[in-house]
Structure 1
Amino acid sequence: MKNILFLMKSMQGGGAEKVLLNILKNMDYQKYNISLVLVFNEGIYLNDIPKNVKVSYIFEKETYENNQMIINQSKSVYLNNIKEDYDIEIAFLEGICTKIIGNSTQNSKKIAWVHVDLLNCHYTSSMYNSIKEEEDTYHQFDEIVFVSNYVKESFYKLFPSLNTKGRVLYNPIDIDQIKKLSKAFNVDYDKTTFITIGRLTNQKGFDRLINAVSKLSNENFNFQIIILGKGPKYNELKEQIHNLKLENYIFLKGFEPNPYPYLLASNAFISSSRSEGLALVLCEALILNKQIIATNCSGVNEALDYGKYGHIIENSELGIYIGIKDFLINGSNYTISEKAFSKFSLKKSIEKICDLIDNTSLPKSGI
């Protein structure tokens, strides 16, 4: 039985956390002994972790001091907290998890997951003193997993010496479960409704979406925007909505454990992101045959097959404004076939992840 460690920052309500849960819920626990170590013991998904998984954490909460300790003393953080022996060590989030596992002294196979377009959203740079240090850290890994081809190509542009490593594994999505959950209860809207779902962070571009709606509100369109999610930008976005007098247009509904009935009942899904790897919720919108309006960034083109399955708009506040206005005036009728989301099949993705874990014959890598 293989001993496997997944290291994750926390279990907050983001796409990477949902992907990790899908993986953990579908692993063979007769074959694998799985441990999950959280850097911070926080998040709305903590209670959803399967009982078969051994869970521990490094810090109780995320604080400035704790982050600084990881940045400056990552090797000590690893040695003081990762005590068991593992055959496979997986840093399931770029940046903080990659830095910690990169300091492992174990003779294990090390795998790093990359969920975002680091070339255009290099948020992990704050964890390192230089790009070279970050690049050197990735050299400690035997395998790098990218959630889309675009994410892989961007990564290689940022870190050219790593272009011989890596493979693309699409996020596993339980297609049947999403369809089932979408019918768990009824949701009715009395006007044209756009929905967007995600962590309230700068990356998701909700501030741009609010400004675009402000322009449209002055043009007498009758519609509403539902935003499902929580995150550090909540108060800032709430204040922005209030200052622009958009309380009748935009509704911050917080985190919803089952967002799919709300998504199913909407007229269209909007992605206003500044950058994306391969947005999980956009793929879920495809599964529910929703019309999609999405800013042109990294994995969006890959998910929508370059505009075949949804309206890809300019990645700007103006692009969002034009995209919504065009929908309100002309509607949208993209045909979404099963081919659009079959590559995210849970069974196929889990099989590929298990193949990655079981293939332990790769030589150790080093700087």
Structure 2
Amino acid sequence: MAEKKKILIRIGSLRHGGAEKVLVTFLKNLPEDQYEIDLLLNLYSGKYLSEVPEWINIIYLNKGEMITTNRIQDIPRKIYRVIYQHLLKKFPKLLYKGKLKRKQYDIEFAAIHGMCDEILNSPLKNSKKIVWIHNDLSEVKGYNNEEIRKFFGFDSIMVISEKIKDTFLSLAQSEAEKLKIEKIYNPLDTEEILTKAEKPVLNYHFAPAVPTFISVGTVFPQKGFDRLLKVHKRLLDEGFKHKILIIGDGYDFENIKALKSELGVDNTATMLGFTDNPYPYFKHSDFYILSSRYEGFPTVLFEAITLKKKIIATEVSGVKEMLNNGEIGMIVENSEEGIYSGMKKAFENPEQFNSYAEHLKHYKMSFSLENSVHSIMKIIDGL
């Protein structure tokens, strides 16, 4: 039997983000007999740790939850982590000699763009290097063309949407560089979503006569929850009764919560925090709303499509592809005004949403779990 390929995969942690969920779904569907995988986390934490298959070896730089506060008692630990991780990044030989026990890998895999330098600066010169890009970097602060060009140092660049692919193609300087770019749809598990949606809703009451707009995502400025709440207030002031439900956690949670109180919408807007099963909430909500400022390929829309929701989404990377150019959901301008006009239409022209629902009934998604896992394996095996 052929020898198993030795693969090192790097990611920050397995907290509750789209890229983390996608990585774990991919790992759960890989054949154990073909690969030997070390998963190296900067921080051994996150909701998805328990889902990593047992045959995958987890290695970590530090243990414990993410420290997001500046409380006096947390500062020494925070400083230690930062210095330790910075040292290993600056002197990768220490990491490869120590934690990784001088192991020789065939493939080194950056599961998010933030691990670019760590993999490219690896002391292993003979390993093949892959990066998985989940965000439209042309929209991300700190990434100019020169920074994005660095990714051409990888042997394969996996991107998750047409828009991201176009960004990279426009920066490629040779045919060989163009050939490195592969569009791979995120591996997502439809069956799991449908099964989990049948579970009961906990700690939230859906009012039958009042429409609920749900939004799910990590609470970062990128997700635009601030815009959503401002629009919510505006529509309430105009007499449109409705509720907003935000599911997710993140470093911006307290700011968004404070904004909610400041706008005086605490009775109509709810922030539930993180739940590992948001699907029953999806199921019972009337509309799914994506208020993001930028995305790569919003995994959450796949979930909303799977659960046949009425969708309103800002025009960010991946949305046109996922909503079939606006055939199965409403695409609005990427602005507060855009979100406002989309939500207002939900009240004033509900029949428009019936036509989306009709199209959704017969819609076949081109991104199946099997296809995605197979495509990534093909890249790994081909290097």
Q: Provide TM-score, normalisation by structure 2.
A: 0.86
Q: C-alpha deviations, 1:217-250, integer Å up to 9, x for none? A: 2112211111110000000000000011101221
Note the 1:39-78 alignment, pairs <5 A.
39-60=42-63, 61=66, 63=78, 66=81, 74-77=89-92
The Cα RMSD (Å) is: 2.3
Please give the alpha-carbon distance, in whole angstroms, between the structure 2 residues aligned to 1:20 and 1:172. Answer: 8
Matched, 1:145 2:145: no
Unaligned runs of 5+ in 1: 361-367
Match of 2:300 in 1: 281
Is structure 2 residue 367 aligned with structure 1 residue 350?
no
In structure 2, what is the equivalent of residue 363 of structure 1?
A: none
Tell me the equivalent position of 1:180: 195
Q: Which amino acid aligns with 1:103?
A: N
Cα distance in structure 2, aligned partners of 1:318 and 1:65: 45
Larger radius of gyration: 2
Is the 1:119–1:157 contact (alpha carbons within 8 Å) kept by the matching residues of 2?
Answer: no
**Unaligned ranges ≥5, structure 2:** 68-77
Matches within 5 A, 1:296-307: 296-307=315-326
The question of whether the paired residues in 1 share the 8 Å contact of 2:42 and 2:85 is answered with no
Match of 1:103 in 2: 121
State the SS of the aligned residue for 2:218.
Answer: coil
Match of 1:317 in 2: 336
Aligned pair count reads: 353
Name the structure 2 match of 1:364.
none
Structure 1 residues 119 and 160, CA gap change in structure 2 (3 angstroms): farther
Decide whether aligned partners of structure 1 residues 205 and 46 sit closer, same or farther in structure 2, where only a CA change above 3 A counts: same
What residue identity is the alignment partner of 1:250? A
Give the letter aligned to residue 287 of structure 2.
A
**Contact 2:92/2:122 (<8 A) preserved:** no
| Corresponding residue to 1:135 among 134, 149, 165 | 149
Identity of matched residues, %:
37
After superposing the two structures, state which structure 1 stretch, 56-65 or 106-115, moved more.
Answer: 56-65
Alignment partner, residue 24 of structure 1: 27
Q: Residues of 2 paired with 1:131 and 1:59: CA distance?
A: 33
Scaled by the length of structure 1, what TM-score is found?
0.89
Distance 1:78 1:321, change over 3 A: farther
Closer, same or farther in 2 for the Cα pair 1:327/1:6, shift >3 Å?
same
Where does residue 165 of structure 1 map in the other structure? 180
Partner secondary structure for residue 244 of structure 2: strand
Asked if the contact 1:78/1:100 (under 8 Å) is kept, the reply is no
Task: Compute the displacement of 1:179 (Å).
Answer: 1.0
Q: Structure 1: how far apart are the matches of 2:52 and 2:260?
A: 35
Corresponding residue number in structure 2 for 1:295: 314
SS in 2 for 1:277: coil
Give, in whole Å, the separation in 1 of the partners of 2:167 and 2:16.
Answer: 25
Note the C-alpha offset of 1:178. Answer: 1.1
Aligned to 1:4: 7
Q: Summarize deviations over 1:95-124 as a string: whole Å, max 9, x none.
A: 2x111001112211110000011112245x
